Every structure is written in structure tokens, then in C-alpha cells.
Amino acid sequence: MIDKNLFLHDLSIAAILKDEGHYLKEWLDYHLAAGVDHFYLYDNDSTDDTREVVKPYLEAGQVNYFSVPGELAQMPAYNDAVRRFRFATRYLAFLDCDEFLFPKTEQGIAEVVDEVLSANPNAAGLAVNWQVFGSNGQETADYSKGVLERFTRRAPSDWFEPPARATLPVGNIHIKTVANPRFIRYIVNPHYAYYFDGKFAVNTAGGRVTHWGNEPVLADKLVVNHYLTKSKEEFQNKMGRGRTGVDAKIFDTADMSVFDKNDRNDELDEGILNYRSLRADSVKPPAFDAEGYYKALEGNLSRAVHANTPPEFFEDKLETFLTCRALASMLRRLFPNDKRGSEFEEAALQAINRAHVTRLTLAEVMLTLDALPPILALPYPAVEEIRKNCIDFLKQLMTDLRRNSRWEAFVEMNRYLELLMAFGAARHPFK
């Protein structure tokens, strides 16, 4: 498993917001206590006090805050978080602000994710089932109390209703994702990520999950408490302000059918309140330890720079070396007078090259290609070798894709190849 010390953040959440000012502080504070140490928040045209609520967390270094105006902004926001921060955070969760990740033990969220994903080296994401909470019979909003205190009754753990015709099923079959963002290819659904070939999501029992739902519903180790309805007044307000994602047409109905179907109050469940109390002292103030990062780079790269280091050392380490490169690049930019950033960045590039001659998985090849744009702009000699390696990878990959008639992927890879060839010609016009 990759060294935790190479990341700015251990576990982050990407979320899109729209007028969530009443609920946001509770949601942020809860997840900080549960082991989340950073948030990538995308504000979709909020008109309330969301920005003021976020301000102290922004000043404390716990939040990156972006404005994403316009309709259907959720998928662009999620994919932006993956693209920009895949090497900054070890795990990345994708949640709405009415969803709370709830471990069923005193553990932090990342500890549970570690336990599940470590059992399968190809598991890159954890699919976590919903637990849908109802209104507790509340008609009107009461902002003097938090969501977790006000809504303590939910549907049975395994509740879901199969779809009728073209609609989605209702209930706890839906999942949300906590993933290793380095192996996410893209996101086209708020519930589920698509991974590079050979990588996949699993549920908390280790079984593969291939889409937005997991059946049978699992509620053993980690769940997402989903406060979908809240009170009737709050639900009506939510419908009135519009939705940010691909499920907008499902929820923005003219009647209260969605509320009625999801207003389940069958069972009392105050587990998350007990968990929050137990974890109250677990919030760690953010700290940027530059010397700690330099030490982590040295620990991961010291053997890589020696010519007599055997090839076996570089096997299964491409993710590590690409992460080292990203961290060293950040340190180089932050501390331009400290030569260690440039030295470690060049060492990481050399290690990437040596890893390229080991047996690579397709996921590792795709990760390299996705990481190329900032690498190609660097002045180090190793960059040209990386470019040539990637051209060789693409040619081999395209041969396999052609043989298997995977034409969509073939065209995608051919575009990569054309760009790499053109970049080389532009950089070395007389060769």
C-alpha cells in the first residue's frame, strides 16, 4: 500500500453545494471528527450564507472552495476534483451535504476503507450503501437543532423498492463512493466512479460492485446516513431551489411523491450521535509539514536513484513514483530556493522510467498517460524518455484494442498517440 506520508490529505470529500448554509457546519464538523481532513467544495450559485459558513474552514486550510455556476454542475465538479487532486489526497469521497459517512465502530472512515481495500490489490473504490432517514413526523423546519439530532428514524436497513419501468429503484440499494482517485478514469454518475481497466469497486464485504447500487444492502461496517427528506417544509424548499446533478429530473417533481416514498420512520437509529460523541476529540488541526514531506520523498526515492538497485524494487511502485513527482513539484513551486524539490522531482521521474520497464498493468499505463500533461512541460532529461515509453505503450495497447474490436478505446488511445508524437516534433523540430 502506498505511503500515507506522500499525501497532503489522507481522506477528502468532494461535494457540490447549493444553499446548504443551514446544514453545512454540522456536516463539516461531523466529518472532521470522523477522520476527514479536507474538503473540495464546489458552490453552485448559492444565494444564502454558505460562503460565510465556509470561511473559517477555508482560513484554517481545511477547504478548497470553488464557484461552479450554471445547470448540471455536479459531474464537472467531481471530475475536476479527480483531475486536480488525485495525487494530493490518498482517498476521495463523493458526497452530498445531506449524506453522512458513518462507521459502525469507533474507527475513522479511512481505517475502515483501508481494511476493505487492502484485501484486494485491484480494489480502487469502496461502494457504501445508503441508509435513508425520514422526517420524524416533522412538518416544519427547526434550525435550532442539527440534522442528526432532529432525524433519528429510518427505513429498515435492507429496504429498497425495485424500479417501475424506466425509473430508478428507491431505497438503500443506492451507494456512494470512497475511492483511490489515482485510478478513477472519470465520473458520469454521482454514485459511482469508472476506473482504469483492471481496477474496480467493492462493497464492505469485498464483493465487486459494477454500478450505482449494491444488493443485498450492506450495513455492517460503513454506511451513508442519507437525510433525503428532512421535514416536509425543508424538502419543498429543496425542490424549489433546484438540483445540481444528473438526478435533477427525478427529484424535482411537482408533487410530494418523492417525499412520501422516502419518508420512512420505521426504526430508531441514534448510532451516529453516539459515534460523533466518541469521536469528538479526534479532530486534528491541519498541518503542513514540509520537512516531513521531504523525509517521505527521501524514504521512497533513495533506493530508486542507485544504478545497482534491482529491477524488482520498481515493480508495483509506479503509483508511488508518480505521487512522489507530484509532491516534489508542489514543494519546488512553494520553496523555489530549496533545491531539494527539483532534486526529488528529477529522482521521481527517473524512478518512473525504471518502473516503466517492469511488468505494468493496464491501469498503471493509463495512470501514466493521465499524469502526462504537467510532466511533459518539465525541463528534465528523463521527460523525453517517459514520452517515448508512453508512445511504445500506446502502440502495444492499440494493437490489442484493434484485435478485440474495442474501437471507442482505440480512437481514444490514438488521440493520445497523436498528441505525444506532435509534442515531440514541436519540442525537437530538427530530429
What is the Cα–Cα distance from 13 to 275, expressed in whole angstroms? 19
Please name which of 119, 18, 154, 131 lies closest in space to residue 77, comparing C-alpha atoms: 18
Residue type, 170: V
Beta bridge partners of 179: 92, 125
- Can you give the C-alpha Rg of the chain in angstroms? 23
What letter would DSSP give residue 34?
Answer: T
pTM over 0.85: yes
- pLDDT by residue for the chain (431 residues), tens only, comes to 899 999 999 999 999 999 999 999 999 999 999 999 999 999 999 999 999 999 999 999 999 999 999 999 999 999 999 999 999 999 999 999 999 999 999 999 999 999 999 999 999 999 999 999 999 999 999 999 999 999 999 999 999 988 776 567 789 999 999 999 999 999 999 999 999 999 999 999 999 999 999 999 999 999 999 999 999 999 988 887 665 555 544 444 446 888 999 999 999 999 999 999 999 998 888 889 999 999 999 999 999 999 899 999 999 999 999 999 999 999 999 999 999 999 999 999 999 999 999 999 999 999 999 999 999 999 999 999 999 999 999 999 999 999 999 998 899 899 989 989 988 766 655 44
Q: Pairing between strand 222-226 and 208-209?
A: unpaired
What is the Cα–Cα distance from 122 to 129, expressed in whole angstroms? 21
